[in-house]
Structures are given as C-alpha cells and as structure tokens.
Structure 1
Amino acid sequence: MLLLVINPKFEAVTYYEEKPNLVIALDNSESIAYLKQDEIATQIYNDLSKNSSLLDRFNLEAYMFGNSTSPIDSLDFKDNQSNFSSFFKNYNELYKGQIAPILLVSDGNQTLGNDYLYSAKQNKQAIFPIILGDTTNFSDLRLQQVNVNRFAYLKNRFPVEMIINYSGEESVSSQLRISSGNTVLFSKNITLDNSKASEIINTTLNASQVGVKTYKVEILPLENEKNTVNNYKNFGVEVIDQKTNIALIADGLHPDLGALKKSIESNEQRSVSILKPKEALLKLNDFQLVILYQPNNNFNDLLDAISRIKLNTFTITGNTTDFNVVNDSQVFFSQEITNQSEDFQPTVNTNYGTFIIDNITFNNYPPLQSEFGSVTFKAPEETLLFKRVNGVNIDAPLLSSFEANGQKYALLSGEGIWRWRAQCYLDTDSFSDFDNFIGKLVQYLSSNKKRNRLNLDYKSFYNQNETIVLSAQFFNKSYEFDGNANLQVTYKNNDTNETKTLPLLLKNASYRIDLSSIKPGDYSFTVKNQDEPVSSSGRFKVLEYNVEQQFLNADVTKLNSLATSTNGKSFYSNQINNLVDSLLNDTRYATIQKSKRSTIPIIDWKYLLGLIALALSLEWFIRKYNGLI
C-alpha cells in the first residue's frame, strides 16, 4: 500500500520483429488482355501471393492499377487506361519511410499520367519489373499522335499535326491520308527507315459547316504488318460560328488576372481581353461579359455605362477595392466597410442549383483575402461558396450569383484566386477541375438564354477512352432545385438504331449517369421527368479509339531502365522462381529486431494489485483462524 502511495516508476523493454513490406502492383488495363497476357498475369499473382517463402520473409500487399489504383479484389483487365503515376502517388502516401520494394507486373505501356520513370524515382525504393508480353521486334508503322484543337471557327482553316513512328530495319514507304466519310481531304507519301524512324506532318483543313465534324487519319499498313489497329485514329472538331468575348477589367497588376485568363481561355470558344477601365469603356459593346477586378474610383464612368447597356458582370473584390464605389454603383448588394481584412477559405454549397458543379471540392484550398464585414443582398441570390474562417463554417457568402432586371451578376469576395488554380494542380496534377469550374460560371454569366427547368451538361463529342458522363439539373416551377425528380435518359445509336433507357442518379445538386461503356457511334438522347411533361434532348458522338490496343510489344527498354534506376532487377514472366530467390537472398530485406522501451508507473503493474489482494486475504484468514476477528 505504501508502494502505491509513493508510486515509483521502472523501465520495461519489449522486443519484436518487423518484416519488410513487399508490394505487388499488377497492371489491370486492356493492353494486358490484348497482348494475350491476362492468364499469365493472373497466374503470376497467384504464385507470388501464395508463396510460403515470401510470406515468411515479407508482409505482402497487392494492388491493381489502370484508370485508378485499388487493392486487388478481382482481375478483369478491362481498364481503358494505364495510369502508372496514380499507383506511385498512392504508394508514396502509404509506404513513406518504410522498406517496401515493388514487384511491378506489367507490359510497361503507359497511356495516362506522368512518366513512370520519373514518378518511380521519387519513391527511393527498389522496383522489380515482371515483363509481360512479346519482346520480339516486328516492323511496324504507327500513327503516334494527332494534335488538333477541339474547336474551329466557321470559314476558317484549322491546323492538324500528325506524328508517325516506325520500328524496323528496312526502308519502307507508305501513304498518309485524312478523310471525312468517303472523301479524302489530304494525302502524302512518306518513306521511313531505321535512321529516320519518325516524321511530323502538318496540314490545315477547312471548317465549312457549323457542328461536329469527324475525320479519320490513316497510315496505310505494311505488307504482313502484325498490328494495324495503331495505323489510324479518328478525331473530331466542333465548328462554331462565333466566340464569346470577355473583358477582364483591372486598374493594376495582379496574379489573379493571368490565372483567370488562362482558366477561361482553356475553352477555345472564349477569348479574354485584359483592359484598363478607360480602354474598356470604348469597347463595351464587343463583350458578352465583363469581369470587374477590384473596382475603384477609376471605374465610375465604366460602371455607369455597364448599367446603361445592361451587361452581365462578375465582380471580384479584395484589399484594394473601393467599397464606396461598389456600393454606390448598384442597388443589389452592399458590403459593410470596416477597413480591416480577413482570410476566408471556401466551402462548396452542394445544394447550389443554378448550374452543375462537378469534381472540384475546394478541400484544403488556401484562403482568399478581402474586407472583414458582412455582405447584404437586396436581390434573391444563390450562394455557390460559403466562407470558412479558421476551419469554422460561417453562414456568409464568398461567391454568389443572382439575376435582376434582365442581367446576371456574380460576386466573389476575395483576392488570391491564383492560389486556387495552383492548389488544383498540386491535388490532381491538372488545372482542368478548376478551369471547368470557372468555365461553367463564365458560361452561365455570358449567356442571356432564358432559364430552363431541365438543364443538361455534356460534350458534343467524346473519344472512346474518355469518361462519358451526362449530368442534368431539374427545377420546380419556382426554379428551386428538385431533389426528388424521377429522371430517365433514353439514348439511341443512330448507326445501329439500338435504343436503351436508364435512370439518372442524384449526386449532390445534379443527376448523373455514366455512359462510358457505350460503343463508338453517333447518339441522340432525351432526358425526361417521368412525373411531369418536362424533357430536353441533345446529340453527341463517340469516336472510335482504343489507346490500349496501340501496342505491339512490351516496353522492355523502359522497364529495364526503371529497374536499373531504382537498384532493382527486371524479370520475364517465366523467371518467377529466379525473382523469388533474388528477393530471399537480398540482404537489404532482412527481418529487423526492434525494441520498445517504456517507463511504467508501479500503479499500472497488475501483478502488484494481485499481490496486495492475496496478502489482505491471507491476513483475514490468519486472523480469523487465530480468533482475532
């Protein structure tokens, strides 16, 4: 009892063994099945995952990758992309600071993401490629790439760039053609050999008709050429009649201006002019939308002209904004003036219903800086982004849109939007999610079309390997988003007359359906509410192109380089026993005995509690036996 009162402490040392990890990464893309290696790959995985020697030596973890990365559940080799960089990014997060060599079971042919030679070097772990596929070299002509803009303008000529590669020893001749339907629009004879293994050809085509035009680029195959799938590619161009012109008006320089211009012009249908207020005043009639960046006294005449001709506006405020000018120039909202600034992080309003928001979540996005104080709206507004201060959501709008007097308005209370675009790239290795978000906001503001109860969001054409997602929003008669609508899409392949009807599923503030599995062709579709006579129709094309069928062999050279650069070693599919022996004999992957030293107070020693209980019990029995109790 006295020991418990004093509560001395003593050190306890425990020993345990830690086995190194061994990660199996298996390519689940279509190219494995196309090269007839799917059964071999499955057998390799089964042999490795059940090898008792490896299980005794390592902690085995297995993943498959294609479009994305996931633990191996069942292998089907149906992913239409090979995204190696997705696997290595997830690997870095899971095994940072650990010993975890990688067994990469793949043909080495990458179709998506950053070059895996670069991505793998960041891991600082040995990689042991297991090479799948034929390693024999055959003479092969390949249309490596076709570069073309997605949009062209009526009565203009648009450029097309084609890259042709050749693998082989002998000199060969062929002909390159571009055709639309049965009409050949361009042709050129080419000659290649082992000293001149590639050629870049440029030409221009005429955009003569509004709408989606599809073309086929073809390099005539060699005699007895083994793979002719990679000899042609289809591409599409949407011919438009006019461009949306947007004025970005600012009285000074700021990184936000460049970020906004790049985001908006990522869609070739839009053009942005960065102007001073006085310059913009002379050209207002040329624009469908004006973006007012941090207005001040120099904007007074411009704001009067915008109000007079009823132009749609997007106002962005910040630390250099004159809020007296902003408040006096319109009657729809008012900013409280405190002459103090605050940092505001964004939170998406998932119930926003004016247009569809996809993909972007704004999680962990850096804050924008603007005037501390509330914004009071005098017109019905809809909040797209709420403010968050120090991680706490506050019921205050950061980005809002509203309509009044036949005009459309948006207000963003904060500067520093360039950081959002940079964060998007850090999160996704692409600017596209942020650019699409800004593009949809600009599309809504620059359009003067009457609002419909059923709005659709889709592209006019897709490549076969793209994700084909059709999104829709349905509003009740008060133009409030209806989350209980019963929407169905009926689509028809106009080439085969095949028709199918499917339901759309609610996700956040839109209804969506993924049609990525449909065959190439020309499609028409109708989205209809089954409970009300409200519907909307559209058309799109799916262009035939399977990137996973462009390969004839395994990329042995690249996989060998990967092994060498990471201090690993490559093996062929029939050398699994050699691979196992190499891993078991590799001194870098020995089991490590570790110790854990901890200081434990005696009050936590359970045996002492038992000893005290036993002593008290014995004392009671002895006293009882001797008649002392």
Structure 2
Amino acid sequence: MQTTTIVYICIAAIISALVAIFHYYYKTKKRTKKLVLFSFLRFLSVFALLLLIINPKFKQKSYYTEKPVLTIAVDNSSSVAELGYDTKVTSILAALKNSKELQDKFEIDTYTFSNELKENDSVNFTGSQTNISKALKDINKLYKDAIAPTILITDGNQTYGNDYQFLSSKIKQPIFPVVAGDTTTFVDLKIDQLNANKYAYLKNKFPVEVIATYTGNETVQTNLILTADGKRLASKALTFSPTDNSKVVNLNVSATKIGVQTLRATLTPLNLEKNTQNNSRYFAVEVIDQKVKIALVSDIIHPDLGALKKSLESNELRGVDILKPNEASSVLNDYQLVILYQPNRKFQEVYQNIKRLEKNTLTITGTQTDWNFLNDIQTSFRKDDLQETEEVQGQLNSNYTNFLIDAIDFSDYPPLENAFGEVEFNVAHEIILSQVISGVSTNSALLATYTDDNKRAAILAGENIWKWRANSFLAQENFIEFDTFLGKLVQYLASNKKRERLTVGYESFYYGNREIQLTAQYFNPSYEFDANANLTAIVKNKDTDETTTYPMLLNAGFYTVDLNNLPPASYNFTVRAEGKNISKSGSFKILEFDIEKQFLNADTQRLQAIAAKTNGKTFHINDNSQNIISELINDQRFKTIEKSNEKVVSLIDWKYLLAIIAVFLALEWFLRKYYGLI
C-alpha cells in the first residue's frame, strides 16, 4: 500500500473521530456511558464510508498447481491401415487416454495429423498425405513455454515436408515415438521416383527417368516396362543385388499424337514380394504441336535478363532468346512476343519492324531508359524524363479482368527502381500493379496492359525484377509464385484471342494425391468482375458417364470448386453462368497414384533418431501400453509445479463493506430509538 494512501486513511480516521465527538459530546450537555457506544458506531460508519471514497488497494496472492501436458499425436494417414496396424493404433490410443495414472499426472491433449495437425481423438486412417515435420512444429509452437512431452504414434513414413529427424534443434519437448509398423525387412522392388517433362512436342522424343530400388538379400532380375493404353512403348531388363540395389533408368518415348497421354511404368513383381503396389507409377505428358518463342531485346547487361529467361522457360512451352537490337531487327517474325528491355535510340529499327509485323510487346523501363526516344517512337504512353530515380513497390489490383491472377501480397516484395515520374497513357489501359511510394498508394501504373491497334501490349515501369523472383524463393522455397504470375502475363500477351467474359483455370491432368481445383472469373458486359454471378461446374466421368453438378464459391476474386473427392479417371467439364447464355468447357485427367500405399515397413530409423535427439524413447506398437505409461510416470522431468498468482484488489470491490456500513448505521439508529434519544 502506498504511503499517500496510508496518510489518507489516517486523516479519514481523524475526521471520523471528530464527527463522532462533535455529534455526541460537543452538542450534548448530558454525557452518559451510552454515548461511548453511540459515538463508536458513528465513528465506524463514517470511517467505512471514507474508506470507500479513498478506495485503498491490496495485494492478494493465491496458489495453484499446474500439471505437465502430455500431447498424444496420432498418424491418421491411410498408410497405417495399409500396413495393417490401424486396430492396434486405436487400441493403444484408448489405453493411454483412459489411463488413470496418466490422468493424475498429466493434462492429456490428443491430436491427429496427416497433412495438417487437428485437435481430435477420433481416427479413421483416411489421410492421403503425411507431414510429420509440420505436426511436430505445430505442437512445439502450441506448448513452447510448457512442460509437454509428446507421444508420437506413427509408422514414420512421411510423404512430403522437411525431414523430421533433423528438427531436434527446434523442438524443446521430448518425443516418445510409438512405431506403428513392421520392422522386419521384406523383399521389395519399388519405383522410388519418376521424372518426366510435363509437356512434349509432336513427333519428338521425350525423356523419362525412373529411379528403382530393391530391398533383399539375393540377386534378382526384373523388367522395367513402359506402357500407354496397354501398348508397350519401351522396356529394359534390370538386375539388382544387396550391394547394387538402386538403378537410374533413362528411356526415350515418341510423342505420336496431340493431347494428354497417360503412361505407366511397371517393375515386374518378384514371387516373394509382399507389396506390389509400389512397383507401378502412372504419369502423364501433354503433347503439343507448337512452342511460344519470345524475343528479349536489350542493349545492356542486367540481372533482370537472366531472371526473365529463367522464369519464362520454367514452362517448357516457352523459349526465350536474348538479342541485341541490331540482331533482333531481322528475325522478329519468328517470335510471338517481343520484350523490350530499357529501350534507347538503338531500338529505332526494332520498333519499325514491330509496327510492320504487328507484334505484341512487353516494355520494361528503368534507370537507363531513353524516355525522349520512347516518347517519340510510340504514342500509347509517355513520361517526362526528369533525370531522377525513385523506388516503387507494387499493389495488386484485384479487379483486373483480362486474365486470372492469384492473390499475391506484393507489399512483401522489394521495391523496383525507375525514373521519377508517372506514366501517362494515351490509350485505354488496365492496371495490374499500381505504384506504392514510401508506403503511400497511388493511382499510377507500375504494371499495366493496353491495346494498340488490336495488338496486345504491356509496360512494367521498374527494373530489378530479379529481386522479386529471389524474394519468391526466400518466402516459398521455390519460384512458383513469381513464375506463375509472369507466365500468365506473357501467355496473355502472346495470344491474340478476343477477351472472354468467362475464363476458367485448370490443369490438363492431376495426380491423385494432389489438390484438384477449378477456378473461374466472370465479367459483366463492361468487363468488370461480377461478384454476384451464379456459376456451376458440371463434371462428367468419361468412363462411367456419371455427371455431377457443383456450385462454384467466391473466394478472393475467384470462383472455385474443389474436386478432391473424384476418383482417378478422365473427365469433361462445363462451367456455366446460370441465367446467362455463357459457358466454358474443357477436359482433364486424374492419374491413379496413392503415395500412402508405397510403404512396406515403418521408418524405425528416423523415429529412433528424433527420439534420441530430443531425449525421448522409442516404443513399438506391440509393446505393453503399461511400459509407456510407466516410463512417463517415473520420468522426473515431468513434475507438477506449484505456481502463485498475485493480483491487486480494490476495497470498493469488497461487496461486504456496504453491508457492514448498513449494519453499523442500523444498529446506531435502533439503539438510539430504544433509549429514547430519537
């Protein structure tokens, strides 16, 4: 309690005493022994009222105990059931949850995981992917400041994500894996990995790389066979031994017809193999008869050139040639799109040929752009050459209508550098990215598209776009976000098709273990995005003729529908705007592949490694559950902790004080009435 408050209480006591004395002694000439009682009651009443006004504060300390938390994380992926351990996992989970000993010592939290961690104690073993590392990271975040050992019930087979055995430096809690799988080594042939280009060109050969492995103690022979529609395309005899147990096989296959071709690579099973599902792998290749050629014209050397070429050629359908202006002038007719990087007066002949050949263009400007030349050579846009530079960031226009753009947060991307000033357009244009300068959004275009005499064109007013691609890799650990964005821009510019009110995004084929989604955008007659449209997707299985209609839901500027429940097959689809005579059709194929069925044993080695590195202990599913319980009960690291909680309480919050004041006043009045003083 503060000194000031104590002084106020002392003053309140003095005032209360003076009030009592004044009322019962100063004003009364006849003093009796009863006045002592009356003045004392008056003193207490006044003093209590003054205490309420002063409202002193007191510290209140309480004590409580906190049990350690025991997290039980159960692998809910289908590989557990495929190995035949689903019943045992369910049994040991029930034994641990219902253990009175564990309940007395721990607060028990139960989670399941496959591709995501979920707070749940019900398992059905239907997960199509397993990400153990993400589950362990999420648990570590939830209990980073608590004593929380983890029982990890899993077969240890991870289908994607970072290798969980190397997470020990990031995980503070001990992990006790319970191995749900057979540790016995069986004879097994397996296609570990299959690599093939997504696209191939008609009448060309495309490479297929197959990585095959063998587990066993004897020398065996098998055949690797590549088939399509039941027809053998290629084959190769393979010999494996205990020491030579891995092969990398390269085959070349001819692309004979346009469209999506589904192929199957198969290792002929051995007589003693227990799991033959991992002997086969389906894959698909889309055969096309043309390739988009892009001319990247520049008179300077800049990191942007390499970044643009790498990004655009990440799609096999595109090829990029970096040319000097004098080289490009005579060969422009061989290209569908011309990228003009920081034009200057050496581009004079290039611009003349672009106009003559009616080529689509993407202009990228920067600090070395000759704006006086650019303003004279074309009339679509202009900018004053002020000989100053500035840094600009981009802000995505979610209402852009010419093609679908994924929602990317460009505020996290580093700024581009450009000549100071605003690009002024003399033709109709649409902004994809507006400029953000020093954190202030503007209406100026950083990236915009426009039409010039029926030719599609775009301008990016900034250099150092290589930093954007590098930032995409740092944030996502891949270049997909940036490459997809730039690829869609180039795909739009390289085409001369008319703008459509309904656009649909989809892949020609999907693997069965990946997300399957159709996206669409619908525009009104003014080509403004319509957020009130009623879109439906009608999907037909070409093998069974079964047709299903799905409503498409609005999500961040797109209409989307998830088709993850569709079985592997070939499908036709139609996206239709209800009440409008507008629709869009296409087809795709879902390839059969269940990665959870590729495993024969539990990955005991990795589970033992994560247990050792986190000071835990490994158990097997066949062990008595009491062994696990005893280990946790007897571990002295996991103790109940007594904690204290101190809080400051105001006197005014003590409701009984009002009752005491009322009692004092009532008692004083009653006694005075009783003795005839009132």
> TM-score, length-normalised on structure 2?
0.82
Pairing 1:41-60 to 2, within 5 Å after superposition? 41-60=89-108
2:527 aligns to what?
A: 479
Pick from 296, 299, 322 the counterpart of residue 274 of structure 1: 322
Flag the 1:459–1:618 CA change in 2: closer, same or farther, 3 A: same
**One-letter amino acid of the counterpart of residue 254, structure 2:** N
Cα deviation digits, residues 512-557 of structure 1 (max 9, x gap):
2111221112222222223122222212211111111111221112
Pairing 1:64-463 to 2, within 5 Å after superposition? 64-72=112-120, 74-91=122-139, 93-96=141-144, 99-335=147-383, 339-358=387-406, 360-362=408-410, 364-389=412-437, 391=439, 393-463=441-511
Stretch deviating more after TM superposition (80-89 or 159-168):
80-89
1:585 aligns to what?
A: 634
Flag the 1:66–1:342 CA change in 2: closer, same or farther, 3 A: farther
CA distance in 2, matches of 1:295, 1:93: 51
CA distance in 2, matches of 1:342, 1:614: 74
Stretch deviating more after TM superposition (148-157 or 479-488):
479-488
Contact persistence 1:353–1:509 (CA under 8 A): no
**Larger-gyration structure (1/2):** 2
CA distance in 1, matches of 2:102, 2:607: 23
Flag the 1:590–1:368 CA change in 2: closer, same or farther, 3 A: farther
Flag the 1:44–1:246 CA change in 2: closer, same or farther, 3 A: farther
Contact persistence 2:343–2:369 (CA under 8 A): yes
CA distance in 1, matches of 2:100, 2:389: 64
Cα deviation digits, residues 137-179 of structure 1 (max 9, x gap):
2211112221111111222211111122111222222222111
Contact persistence 2:157–2:602 (CA under 8 A): yes
Give the 3-state SS of the residue equivalent to 2:637 in structure 1: helix
2:555 aligns to what?
A: 507
Contact persistence 2:398–2:407 (CA under 8 A): no
Contact persistence 2:541–2:570 (CA under 8 A): yes
Flag the 1:250–1:65 CA change in 2: closer, same or farther, 3 A: farther
Contact persistence 1:359–1:433 (CA under 8 A): no
Give the 3-state SS of the residue equivalent to 1:589 in structure 2: coil
Deviation at 1:204, TM superposition (A): 0.8
**One-letter amino acid of the counterpart of residue 202, structure 1:** N
Cα deviation digits, residues 99-154 of structure 1 (max 9, x gap):
54332221111111222223454335432211112233221111222111111122
CA distance in 2, matches of 1:271, 1:240: 14
Flag the 1:458–1:585 CA change in 2: closer, same or farther, 3 A: same
CA distance in 1, matches of 2:191, 2:305: 39
Contact persistence 2:394–2:435 (CA under 8 A): yes
Contact persistence 2:407–2:556 (CA under 8 A): no
Q: Which runs of 5+ in 1 are unaligned?
A: none
Cα deviation digits, residues 391-417 of structure 1 (max 9, x gap):
554444333222231122223333343
> TM-score, length-normalised on structure 1?
0.88
Give the 3-state SS of the residue equivalent to 2:529 in structure 1: coil
Cα deviation digits, residues 403-457 of structure 1 (max 9, x gap):
2311222233333433333333343333222222221111111112222222221
Deviation at 1:308, TM superposition (A): 3.8
Seq. identity, % = 46
CA distance in 2, matches of 1:619, 1:249: 97
Flag the 1:50–1:450 CA change in 2: closer, same or farther, 3 A: same
Give the 3-state SS of the residue equivalent to 1:587 in structure 2: coil
Flag the 1:305–1:96 CA change in 2: closer, same or farther, 3 A: farther
CA distance in 1, matches of 2:147, 2:185: 36
Stretch deviating more after TM superposition (31-40 or 385-394):
385-394
CA distance in 2, matches of 1:224, 1:115: 31
CA distance in 2, matches of 1:619, 1:170: 102
Contact persistence 2:432–2:449 (CA under 8 A): yes
Deviation at 1:56, TM superposition (A): 4.7
1:3 aligns to what?
A: 5
**One-letter amino acid of the counterpart of residue 267, structure 2:** I
Count the aligned residue pairs. 626
Deviation at 1:74, TM superposition (A): 4.7
**One-letter amino acid of the counterpart of residue 585, structure 1:** N
Cα deviation digits, residues 44-64 of structure 1 (max 9, x gap):
444444545445544544433
Q: Which runs of 5+ in 2 are unaligned?
A: 9-53
Deviation at 1:384, TM superposition (A): 2.2
**One-letter amino acid of the counterpart of residue 474, structure 1:** Y
